[in-house]
Amino acid sequence: MRDELYDRTKALDKAVILLYAFTAEDHSVSFTVLRERTALPKATLHRILADLIAVNLIERTPQRGYRLGRELFQLGMRVFTERKLLEVATPFMEDIYERTHETVHLGIVDRTEVVYIAKIGGHHQAAAPSRVGGRMPLYCTAIGKVLLAHSPDELIVRVLQQGLKPRTVRTITSAQVLRQQLAQAVTAGVAYEYEESAVGIACVAAPVLDSSNVPIAAISVTGPLSSFRPMRHSQAIRAAAAGTAAVLRQPGNRQ
């Protein structure tokens, strides 16, 4: 659990625990649910909510609940690395979308999960479980697997130690099979998913690597299993990821 990283006796840590209690799927969260998610005392939760509302980091909703405030979005967009990554990757993602008219993602690693920081899709997107700001396990998505494949072995071990919990009947739950796929992803430059994170979808992803071949991010395209053929788009997705990496390596775009 993320809140295990924080000291519940410190005011700042309590505020962070509360902020992380909101998920990308939330539209309005009640006080009761926030108490369940944070395990903070009622009086403490009231006080922290009031403080964060006062500085626009949390907002009240018409449903008499709470949601993250727009000030957090504005603050997040000041982070140089992710902002520059979005600026550079977006044109390449748009090219992939125009080529496929399927859902295109940009994701990064956070601990043992992939975090989606951008998503482009049309009116008839595949029913993928992803959303901007959302998270998925690294082991069961194409974008997560290709990031994991290019990460240090310590991360792979950590993922395996946490367990490969099935999300569908096709989720890889064997450490040996996962390692084989990761090795193939390094060789091929892409990773694939066939209904491993959600039923009915297929996906191909390629890594955005820095000059030391460390993964900065990954780009993927996802479509319905009934009509989308990921292997047909492997070259295009590799080119998009490589193009993004090349632009990021230019002097003005480096961290």
66 touches 27 (CB < 8 A): no
Confidence at residue 8, expressed as pLDDT on a 0 to 100 scale: 60
What are the pLDDT digits (tens) for 30-61? 999 999 999 999 999 999 999 999 888 999 99
How much is the mean pLDDT over the chain?
88
Q: Grade residue 252 by pLDDT with cuts at 50, 70 and 90.
A: low
Mean pLDDT of 127-148: 87
Mean pLDDT of 107-113: 92
Q: Give the sheet arrangement for strand 201-209, strand by strand.
A: 135-137, 113-120, 103-110, 215-224, 201-209, 191-194
Please, which residues bridge with residue 205 across strands?
191, 220
- Res. 3 pLDDT band, cuts 50 70 90: very low
The rounded distance, in Å, linking the Cα atoms of 107 and 86 is 10
User: What single string gives the DSSP state of each residue in 170-183?
Assistant: TS---HHHHHHHHH
- Tokens linked to 14: 């309590």
Cα 3 from Cα 26, distance rounded (Å): 18
Give 159-202 pLDDT, tens digit per residue: 999 999 999 999 999 999 999 999 999 999 999 999 999 999 99
Distance CA 181, CA 229 (A): 18
Range list of β-strands (E), 61-190: 66-68, 103-110, 113-120, 135-137
* Alpha carbons 24 and 128: distance in angstroms, whole number: 14
Q: What is the pLDDT of residues 6-27, one digit of tens each?
A: 556 677 888 889 998 888 778 8
Backbone CA torsion sign across 93, 99, 101, 102: negative
Whether the predicted pLDDT of 221 surpasses 90: yes
Indicate whether this model's pTM tops 0.85: no
Residues 114-128 have pLDDT tens digits of 999 999 986 566 666
Q: Are 84 and 101 in contact (CB under 8 A)?
A: no
Long-range contacts of 49-58 (CB under 8 A, 24+ apart): 49/18, 51/15, 52/15, 52/18, 52/19, 57/19, 58/18, 58/19
